Structure 1
Amino acid sequence: MLRAITYTLVVSIFVVLTITATFLAFVTFTTEKIDENIKLATYSNQDKELNAKETLTITTFNIGYGGLSRDQDYFVEGDDRGPTKKKTLKALEGITNFLKDVESDIILLQEVDTRAMRSFDIDQYSYLKESLVDYGSVFAYNYKTAWTIDPATRPHGHIESGIATFSRLKLMESYRKQLPDDEKWPKRLFEMDRCIIKSKIPVKGNKNLYILNIHLSAHDEDNDKRLAELRYIQEKIKNIMAEDNYIIVGGDWNQILSTADLEDLPLEQWPKWVVQIPDDFLKGGFKWAVDHDTPTVRVGDEYYNTIVDGFLVSSNIEVLSIEGHDLNFEKSDHNPVTVKISLH
């Protein structure tokens, strides 16, 4: 009897290990490696150049791949309900209509799927390009995996997703820049390859405006990855400012940009991923453009809202206004933010 039990146990372990090894081999050899630093092709580039002291508006919006509307949550926070194709298309339509109505000169988007089971293989970047006809655009992948096993009850499967910058102004050049990442195999097979899009817009008078579209890490337990990403951004903006240019960094920072709402919730009740931007991050006269009155992200079943989306601007840029758009998280788990600026 003991021998039979031992044999059954050994066979069971062997089967589990074989299945696991086969799955990891499949994901390893079918997941396409993303080029770390590449020049991006601009779709439908516009001709308009920017004048010094001209006023312009920029909107950032993490659209949550059209699958994180008010009645759904990102799987790391416990969702097992998942989107439907009808809900995804409805959310995408609502997001597009909002972007048309706000009429910003530049739009920074995060979590835009091009081919993903979680969003029913809808090419959202193509959808947006065809809808926002007055804009040129660039796109960079930050997530490509052959299969994601989370959430266990309804795996998200294959994912190809990224960030996109849309502009009514001429994009002289744009690059995908890889953010620091020391994740080891096999975990890195299922993690995002975080990056930024660095776009250069010519300003009449021999200067340039650099727009950095970002989507920084969340859920790293020791916060080392996010700190490394912030140091990387500091170095990038330092190099750009050495040439006396203008810089705006905008997007989803995945770190608290405003403490305006924190008094309503004790520290021990904060979601585990929530951290604050270090106090010493601001250097060289840079300043935040953040709406302190409008939460930009919803966590779980709305028991915690905070502000993680906004802009960092260089000292030679005047912030004329900042507005967080309270869309009641109907189309995404984020609310968009718009800044109005003038170049000095």
Structure 2
Amino acid sequence: MGKQGKKKRIWLRVLLGILAALLLVIIGYVLYVMISYHRLPDDLTLDVRTPENADTTGAVSVGTDYEIITYNIGFGAYTPDYSFFMDGGKSSVADSKESVLATVSGAGELAAGYDPDFMIFEEVDLKATRSYHVDEYELLDKYFGGYYSDFAINYDSAFLMVPPWEPHGKSLAGIAFYSKYPIASAVRKSFPISTSFSKFLDLDRCYSISRIPADNGKELVIFSLHMSAYGNSDAIREAQVNKLCGDMQAEYEKGNYVVCGGDFNHDLKASEDTEEDRASWAYPFPRSDLPEGFSFSMDFLGEAGKAALPDSARNADMPYEEGVTYTVTLDGFIISDNIELKEYENIHTGYLYADHDPVRMVFSLK
């Protein structure tokens, strides 16, 4: 064999060595993701944070108006010009740490300006690559530090190397609930999720149940939720709805008052019998599956009033452009019939601080 043939063999060995090393890295990474994957246990008791100098004897009462807001802050990434890779956009992390601080602070200040009695924030990062390790729960405390609060972790991921050119990274995130009134106890409930490989890429899902004592011996039970979005099947959607409804019904049968709010990841304006093709995060919510005595608050506005509500979420496949970007209402509230709706509003900001806008409700206990 001549010199030319020997050189070819050497280069071939080098190339095969590189490919073998790359394959080992890929296999090692896949094993790391699979081995490190875990779900938090169901029925996990949550720590309740009590503000300094708090009046721990307070309670809600019949006939008094209370205000609650839900706001998915999108881990602090979604400025109006931001697009997200899982929606067909370009980015997988926030533009900068300064951007995260600005958007989360803006969302917190906006919500605090309404002085709500209860506040639900979804997609709040505690420590995540995608949000430059900003503790967003601590940042929101700047605006809600005088409230009782609990936090339900719904995602504690491995480092995700997707997309390879800008990895989404490792995330620790969840749902923050704030209350002006003492929280007697709180628990985290795990939603059923996909058991396929997609579970490694999508957020784990959960809801929290926070108990607020009422002065008549009953409780105001507030469910804070974030349902599945990407690629969830009909079976997963049905299982999540069934579990949620079962827990709400159990509280109602005890005589308690039930409010359920958050990001339902369903089109809350659409009729469930529509035959339109929809993205997995925009299916109509199966209202017929709600237990007797429960309704979506927006339904009390009537069809015209419901249609007139600004949509609460935008698709993040492109920077937001009013009238062009696809929008849908994913956020809202369910209430039991021992609660009276007083006011209902989708607060339209033009998605200034997130890919969602806040939804506000005023209610009283009957």
Q: Same fold (TM over 0.5)?
A: yes
| Structure 2 partner of 1:196 | 207
**Match of 1:319, SS?**
strand
Deviation at 1:156, TM superposition (A): 1.3
1:120 to 118, 126, 132: 132
Cα deviation code 1:281-338 (max 9, x no counterpart): 2331211113541110000234210101000000110001101100110100001001
Alignment of 1:136 with 2:148, yes or no, is yes
1:323 to 341, 345, 357: 345
1:1-344 aligned within 5 A = 14-30=20-36, 33-44=39-50, 46=54, 47=56, 48-81=58-91, 82-184=94-196, 187-259=198-270, 267=276, 270-271=278-279, 273-290=281-298, 292=307, 293-299=309-315, 300-301=317-318, 302=320, 303-344=325-366
Q: Which amino acid aligns with 2:160?
A: T
Deviation at 1:30, TM superposition (A): 4.8
Q: Which amino acid aligns with 1:131?
A: Y
Aligned residues: 337
Deviation at 1:238, TM superposition (A): 1.5
Mean Cα deviation higher: 246-255 or 127-136? 127-136
Q: Which amino acid aligns with 2:42?
A: E
**Match of 1:214, SS?**
strand
Q: Which amino acid aligns with 2:48?
A: T
Deviation at 1:179, TM superposition (A): 1.0
User: Do the aligned partners of 2:105 and 2:140 also contact (CA within 8 Å) in 1?
Assistant: no
Mean Cα deviation higher: 209-218 or 87-96? 87-96
Distance 2:15 2:288 in 1: 55
Q: Which amino acid aligns with 1:338?
A: R
Distance 2:287 2:14 in 1: 58
Deviation at 1:56, TM superposition (A): 0.3
Mean Cα deviation higher: 163-172 or 12-21? 12-21
User: Do the aligned partners of 1:253 and 1:308 also contact (CA within 8 Å) in 2?
Assistant: yes
Q: Which amino acid aligns with 1:101?
A: G
Mean Cα deviation higher: 5-14 or 294-303? 5-14
Distance 2:69 2:359 in 1: 5
Deviation at 1:33, TM superposition (A): 4.8
| Change over 3 Å in CA distance of 1:130–1:93 after alignment to 2 | closer
User: Do the aligned partners of 1:196 and 1:213 also contact (CA within 8 Å) in 2?
Assistant: yes
Distance 1:284 1:33 in 2: 32
Deviation at 1:193, TM superposition (A): 1.9
Cα deviation code 1:167-211 (max 9, x no counterpart): 001100000111112424x54333322111101111111111100
| Change over 3 Å in CA distance of 1:239–1:9 after alignment to 2 | farther
Cα deviation code 1:209-245 (max 9, x no counterpart): 1000000001225332222100111111121112111
Q: Which amino acid aligns with 2:155?
A: Y
Deviation at 1:160, TM superposition (A): 0.6
User: Do the aligned partners of 1:79 and 1:151 also contact (CA within 8 Å) in 2?
Assistant: no
User: Do the aligned partners of 1:73 and 1:333 also contact (CA within 8 Å) in 2?
Assistant: no
**% identical aligned pairs:** 26
Q: Which amino acid aligns with 2:267?
A: I
Deviation at 1:131, TM superposition (A): 2.9
| Change over 3 Å in CA distance of 1:6–1:281 after alignment to 2 | farther
Q: Which amino acid aligns with 1:234?
A: C
Distance 1:131 1:198 in 2: 22
Q: Which amino acid aligns with 2:150?
A: V
Deviation at 1:59, TM superposition (A): 0.2
Mean Cα deviation higher: 292-301 or 135-144? 292-301
**Match of 1:204, SS?**
coil
**Match of 1:340, SS?**
strand
Mean Cα deviation higher: 83-92 or 155-164? 83-92
Distance 1:17 1:36 in 2: 37
Distance 2:341 2:190 in 1: 29
Deviation at 1:138, TM superposition (A): 0.5
Q: Which amino acid aligns with 1:223?
A: D
**Match of 1:69, SS?**
coil
| Structure 1 partner of 2:302 | none
Deviation at 1:257, TM superposition (A): 0.5
Deviation at 1:277, TM superposition (A): 0.8
**Match of 2:68, SS?**
strand
Q: Which amino acid aligns with 2:135?
A: D
From the CA coordinates, give the structure whose radius of gyration is larger.
Answer: 2
Mean Cα deviation higher: 215-224 or 112-121? 215-224
